[in-house]
Amino acid sequence: MSAPVVVITGATRGIGAAAAVELARRGAEVAIVGREAERVRAVAEEARAAGSAPVHEHVADLLRVSEVRRLAAELLETHPRIDVLANNAGAMFTSRQVTEDGFERTFALNHMAPFLLTDLLRERLAGGRVVTTASDAHASGQLDLDDLQFERRPFRAMRVYGTSKLMNILFTRELAQRAPELSASCFHPGVVRTGFGKNDGLMYKIGLTVAGPFLRTPAKGARSLVWLALDADPAQVDGAYVEDEKVATPSAAARDDVLAAGLWERTTERLGARDSGR
């Protein structure tokens, strides 16, 4: 049997880098996606040393819709088969700024990018898996379908981040309904010692540095991702939220099917992505 082909975004540090190396060690053919070419190359070399299957390098800035589309085209051209798409790229930004597409950055990277990339790769993913990195921070999220990007509400970094993670779970839930040809799941990796939260904002950087010794290692945080990609029964985790390789129950809002459908429709409108009926 040929090696499974796994595409993983945000693969140049933290959970993503640890998962990429472990997936390669487990025999997967890994496509590493990151924003900086040097970091992509470094993780790719580590993954090649860990396994024997091919390791591919893809550079893209997923804050930009044009880059997500270019990446999707590149992946489709490079990989005749994609067994797993791991939507792992994400960040928390401590000030409200918009991208060149007019999207607030947390919303653009954490929600819009995985939504669009999955949509563009969907046909190639038939029979495969979509794994999205969520967080228990979703419980603090407050999703308003009429104010997805906190244009009218106060911008509080953790609230905005938590809302984007709530979107990840709702996206997974709705994808499982709309795409029966694949298995969709998401997971909480734990609070991991990584570069997360250090994008801007001195106090966040200081707080995360102080807390560092008490946080999970990236390797431990990556376990559920690897498990969902290679080991879990797809039927048992379809539409599920997972913690420590076990299906868990997310917040009430994350289980709201009406909210999930509404988010899908609003996102599709903003991206012009293909929609499919429930």
5-271 folds as Rossmann fold (3.40.50)
Q: Quick check: is 241 catalytic?
A: no
Whole-angstrom distance, CA of residue 241 vs CA of residue 135: 9
Region label for 159, one of left (φ > 0), alpha (ψ between -120 and 50) or beta (otherwise) = alpha
Number of other residues whose CB lies within 10 A of the CB of residue 180? 10
What ranges in the chain are assigned the alpha helix state H? 14-25, 37-50, 65-78, 105-107, 113-121, 157-178, 202-211, 218-221, 223-226, 234-237, 257-271
Tell me the β-bridge partners of 59.
Answer: 34
Nearest to 171 by CA among 106, 110, 83, 233: 110
CA distance 240 to 159: 23
What confidence category does residue 168 fall into, taking pLDDT thresholds of 50, 70 and 90? very high
pLDDT: which is higher, 23 or 199: 23
- Percent pLDDT > 70 in the chain is 88
Cβ atoms < 10 Å from Cβ of 195: 14
pLDDT higher than threshold 70 for residue 188: yes
Q: Which residue of the set 161, 171, 196, 227 is catalytic?
A: 161
Q: HSE on the CB side for 184, CA within 13 Å?
A: 22
Lowest mean per-residue pLDDT among 98-112, 116-130, 192-206? 192-206
Report domain extents, the chain.
5-271
pTM of the full predicted structure?
Answer: 0.91
Q: Burial of 74 by CB count in 10 Å (0-12 exposed, 13-18 middle, 19+ buried)?
A: middle
* pLDDT at 211 > cutoff 50: no
pLDDT for the residue 272? 82
Q: Please report, for residues 30, 68, 227, the alpha-carbon distance to residue 26 in angstroms, rounded to integers and kept in the order given.
A: 10, 28, 11
Single-letter amino acid code for the residue at 277: G
Phi, psi of 115 (to 5 degrees): -60, -50
User: In the numeric block, which tokens belong to residue 208?
Assistant: 């995360």
